A and B are shown apart, each in its own frame.
Chain A
Amino acid sequence: MNLTLKIWRQPHATAEGAMHTYAVGDISEDMSFLEMLDVLNEQLLGQDEEPIAFDHDCREGICGSCNLMIDGQAHGPEVTTSCQLHMRSFKDGDEITVEPWRSDAFPVIKDLMVDRSAFDRIIQAGGYISANTGSAPEANSVPVPRDQATRAFNMATCIGCGACVAACPNGSASLFMGAKITQLGLLPQGQPERDSRVVGMVGQHDHEGFGGCTNIGECTAACPKEIPLDVISQLNKDLRTAIRNGH
């Protein structure tokens, strides 16, 4: 198929950016979206134009590197990551716009790449269980009911891609935080730090410039791992409890 691509180009963080239009031909429907961009980049190199920078790594939907806003939707029209989106979701003659994540807390580095280090700092502020190596008790000494363990796993599948933030009109990372808080809150091992965790993470979240949640639900619709919206209710509940407990 032949396609017209409108792609955001920005040489570096402080430079002005603009949409550029490119034509690509001979795209097969078996290609992934990123392989289509590979084809474009080879073409640009041949024309002495610098290839388009974009983040990607595992290309199997698990590392969370890829992050494209495709036709205004985070990761495009399917519920999956940009790397697992295939060209059979498009048709010959389509015009496709490709932009980076848009959020104050995710500044653009170059072209389609953004800085998501704010997510690491939110985890640093409490997204863990303190358990020094070597101090762990025998694994089966603390049973965890299966339903709880399964739900904890489902929340732990978040890949930290940032689609929730990109999709949210407020630029909130509540779904990202809620997933981690819910996961650790479901496990007995997560209880001792439950209050300090939520207070620390929410404080860092606000400090980074992410917006507040107003229950719009775009985040969960865009999430390639289908993290449910109710993790945000859990987040708010934990926050209320922590404040009541004097945090």
Chain B
Amino acid sequence: MATTKSKGADISTPPKAQTSDDAHGYYDPASAPLIDAKEPTGPIAERWTQRKMDNRLVNPANRRKLDIIIVGTGLAGGAAAATLGEAGYNVKSFCYQDSPRRAHSIAAQGGINASKNYKEDGDSTYRLFYDTVKGGDYRSRESNVYRLAEVSTNIIDQCVAQGVPFAREYGGLLDNRSFGGVQVSRTFYARGQTGQQLLLGAYSALERQVAAGTVSTYTRHEMLELVMVDGKARGIIARDMVTGEIETHLADVVVLASGGYGNVFYLSTNAMGCNVTATWRAHRKGALMANPCYTQIHPTCIPVSGEHQSKLTLMSESLRNDGRIWVPKSQEDCDKDPRDIPEEDRDYYLERIYPAFGNLVPRDIASRQAKNMCDEGRGVGPMVGDFRRGVYLDFADAIARLGKDGIQEKYDNLFDMYERITGEDPYEVPMRIYPAVHYVMGGLWVDYNLQSNIEGLFVTGEANFSDHGANRLGASALMQGLADGYFVLPNTIRDYLADAPFDKIDESHPAVVQARASVEERINTFLSIKGTRSADSYHKELGHIMWEFCGMERSEPGLRKAIDMIRELKREFWSNLKVLGTADSLNQSLEKAGRVADFIELGELMCIDALNRRESCGGHFRAESQTDEGEALRHDDEFAYVAAWEFGGEDGQPTLHKEELTYTAIEMKQRSYK
């Protein structure tokens, strides 16, 4: 069934059929027609109000009889657990960390967008919607994005009421700043620690519900399987990471708020424990994985210093407001002290190529050009492998203009962090930066209600795919996580729960027994391979493949090669893995093995998705699809759709389902930053 079309606006002609077929032989096309996203019809500004009205209610007395499992305690999961607990449902909240407060939302720095228009600079719900769809390069679902913009203002109210200490002006009112790629000031912030403050707000609301008895928390628990009974999600199999016990948890509905899978690249700005297992297990049970190749690579991270590196650290892109990015014009200068390289021998390449936007081009463009410079052999910093991965971000001009004090006031904590990690003083020597994987726009496919194609399985936050299209704007991840958790999911899940009571099931149900047995068998397999290589070493190798061939620039031959390499890696993993210790104790190597096994399978699907999408859009740049000037070139005629992949079985091929993207409230355009 085709996407429901609006009655309120003109419809552009639907996309023509896809003519290229690069991934031929790697997948099966779906025989069924397009997937139905269950979007409301009518004018875009009225859709969410209408849906909330149409969704059925659950009587407060019945809510306490309904069990909800929520996996993940970041902004999306923590906020949902608190809100559904307040509403009176029985919530079980799971996280792998030792406390819900440590979920990776905590590391977000810059801010959260909301169209409050406190600056009276022309912001509105529509403008936030417009910027987000355009920023996403016209690959997101417009109804979802509009709703996101609509509830953004409620989020700020909610957080302030919880005691989140946002930055304020002298008059005591909330301050805003502007952020990447937009012309209004709509970003609310708490110094460079906005994610931490928002998460602690959600965490305290969650713990309040624990005290009230509506939410039970299961910390140091990892979801290892989805329990499905009669086609519906009815629970999870989780491992108590302290005792090793395999536990069955049943419920009426399951919510995955388990974050993104950027760690498939091994090195990323994600926390070490971030993983794809919860969503990948659901994918293997039939949940569609949408646009897995859409990855955001952030241009201003501290570069890799050596082979031992475990993690990359982001520095706020606000640095690009005052720093000038350059590399030496000549390779011979790359190992010189940058202060000894005269002005005429420096290539300020962003200012040269993009005179209008200069150092402030969007994230994807700044990242790709840095890679190009290093690929040409003009990178700086230590040799890692066989070339230097870094470019200079130089504050000398800004220090001359504003004085050291001026720079200190603006960026002091970032300069300190840089010095702590690299041992170099950026007031004296130019910073070195390099792009790093930071966020994934892809995730499990959900309809307008945030329900996956599996009944009773809802997916929120970074774990779903729906709101950012092919590229996410700065300060929008926090907005989406909290929108889903506080305002969207609680209003859509009730319509599903209104069908209660559901069939009674217990741990002896054959489907439950089977799910549990499969988890135990898999763990035993990891322990019994007794090979020679650690899970970590496979993870690193996978990361190299993904970064090289499915990173900032992807090409048909590269992706084909990557798929072969990943298949070979998978074979070796399952025959030469080494995990010490036991299943019935705390065993970090065992945890890692399960996560890496799933990352390997995901990596292959990401490459297939990237191979199929022979166009460049947002974070996905295909070498075969660029303008004469080397800029990204979209093909709306072929690819204005969501690629939703169905698992094809252990050795089978995935099936490609498409959701057509129709825009009624915005016109599709090519981006230009020249």
Residue ranges of A at the interface with B (Cβ–Cβ < 8 Å): 11-12, 28-32, 34-35, 38-39, 42, 45, 48-51, 53, 55-65, 78, 80, 84, 86, 88, 109-110, 113, 115-117, 119-120, 123-125, 127-140, 142-146, 149-150, 152-153, 156-157, 159-160, 183-184, 187, 189-190
In Å, the complex CA distance between A232 and B377 comes to: 56
Q: Given contacts A139-B156, A139-B157, is CB(A51)–CB(B118) below 8 Å?
A: no
In Å, the complex CA distance between A229 and B449 comes to: 48
Nearest-Cβ distance from residue B164 to partner chain A, whole angstroms: 8
Query: A153 touching B197 by the CB < 8 A rule?
Result: yes
In Å, the complex CA distance between A117 and B191 comes to: 28
Residues in A with CB closer than 8 Å to B523 are none
The 8 A CB mask of B559-576 against A (1 = contact, 0 = none) is: 000000000000000000
B494 contacts A by Cβ under 8 Å: no
Query: A11 touching B585 by the CB < 8 A rule?
Result: yes
Query: B106 touching A62 by the CB < 8 A rule?
Result: yes
The number of chain B residues touching the other chain, given as a range, is: 35 or more
Contact residue among A30, A88, A120, A150 (Cβ-Cβ distance under 8 Å from B217)? A120
In Å, the complex CA distance between A63 and B536 comes to: 22
Query: B97 touching A65 by the CB < 8 A rule?
Result: yes
**Extra 9 A-B pairs, beta carbons < 8 Å, given A28-B306, A153-B165:** A30-B422, A38-B308, A45-B580, A59-B310, A63-B271, A128-B205, A133-B82, A133-B486, A156-B196
Stretch at the interface among B207-215, B507-515, B618-626: B207-215
Q: Given contacts A60-B107, A88-B423, is CB(A53)–CB(B271) below 8 Å?
A: no
B104 contacts A by Cβ under 8 Å: yes
Q: Given contacts A57-B272, A153-B191, A189-B161, is CB(A140)–CB(B586) below 8 Å?
A: no
Query: B311 touching A59 by the CB < 8 A rule?
Result: yes
Query: A130 touching B308 by the CB < 8 A rule?
Result: no
Query: A128 touching B208 by the CB < 8 A rule?
Result: yes
Chain A at the B interface: mostly helix, strand, loop or mixed? loop
Closest B residue, CB atoms, query A122: B207
Contact residue among A49, A86, A133, A152 (Cβ-Cβ distance under 8 Å from B158)? A133
Query: A184 touching B163 by the CB < 8 A rule?
Result: yes
Give residues of chain B (82-109) contacting chain A, Cβ–Cβ below 8 Å. Answer: 82-83, 86, 97-102, 104, 106-107
Query: A123 touching B204 by the CB < 8 A rule?
Result: yes
Query: B163 touching A59 by the CB < 8 A rule?
Result: no
Query: A48 touching B162 by the CB < 8 A rule?
Result: no
Query: B171 touching A60 by the CB < 8 A rule?
Result: no
In Å, the complex CA distance between A37 and B166 comes to: 37
In Å, the complex CA distance between A60 and B107 comes to: 8
B589 contacts A by Cβ under 8 Å: yes
B18 contacts A by Cβ under 8 Å: no
Q: Given contacts A117-B219, A144-B168, is CB(A45)–CB(B589) below 8 Å?
A: yes
In Å, the complex CA distance between A136 and B156 comes to: 9
In Å, the complex CA distance between A129 and B161 comes to: 8
B50 contacts A by Cβ under 8 Å: no
In Å, the complex CA distance between A82 and B83 comes to: 34
Residues in A with CB closer than 8 Å to B505 are none
Q: Given contacts A12-B586, A48-B580, A56-B272, is CB(A62)–CB(B165) below 8 Å?
A: no
Query: A139 touching B207 by the CB < 8 A rule?
Result: no
Contact residue among B99, B173, B311 (Cβ-Cβ distance under 8 Å from A117)? B99
Contact residue among B163, B172, B305, B311 (Cβ-Cβ distance under 8 Å from A145)? B172
Q: Could you give 5 example pairs across A and B, Cβ below 8 Å?
A: A31-B306, A59-B311, A129-B163, A143-B173, A157-B193
In Å, the complex CA distance between A84 and B311 comes to: 11
In Å, the complex CA distance between A129 and B202 comes to: 11
Residues in A with CB closer than 8 Å to B286 are none
Closest B residue, CB atoms, query A31: B308
Residues in A with CB closer than 8 Å to B423 are 29-30, 86, 88
Give residues of chain B (132-187) contacting chain A, Cβ–Cβ below 8 Å. Answer: 154, 156-163, 165-174
Residues in B with CB closer than 8 Å to A35 are 308-310
Query: B207 touching A183 by the CB < 8 A rule?
Result: no
In Å, the complex CA distance between A59 and B301 comes to: 14
With a 10 A CB-CB cut-off, give which of B99, B106, B161, B211 has the most chain A CB atoms.
B161
In Å, the complex CA distance between A51 and B101 comes to: 26
B237 contacts A by Cβ under 8 Å: no
In Å, the complex CA distance between A145 and B166 comes to: 12
Query: B208 touching A51 by the CB < 8 A rule?
Result: no
Query: B99 touching A124 by the CB < 8 A rule?
Result: no
Query: A160 touching B207 by the CB < 8 A rule?
Result: no
Residues in B with CB closer than 8 Å to A57 are 97, 102, 104, 271-273
Nearest-Cβ distance from residue B646 to partner chain A, whole angstroms: 32
Closest A residue, CB atoms, query B482: A133
Contact residue among A64, A131, A145, A149 (Cβ-Cβ distance under 8 Å from B167)? A149
In Å, the complex CA distance between A115 and B313 comes to: 27
In Å, the complex CA distance between A28 and B423 comes to: 12
Q: Given contacts A57-B271, A184-B163, is CB(A149)–CB(B168) below 8 Å?
A: yes
Nearest-Cβ distance from residue B436 to partner chain A, whole angstroms: 12
Q: Given contacts A128-B204, A133-B490, A139-B157, is CB(A189)–CB(B163) below 8 Å?
A: yes
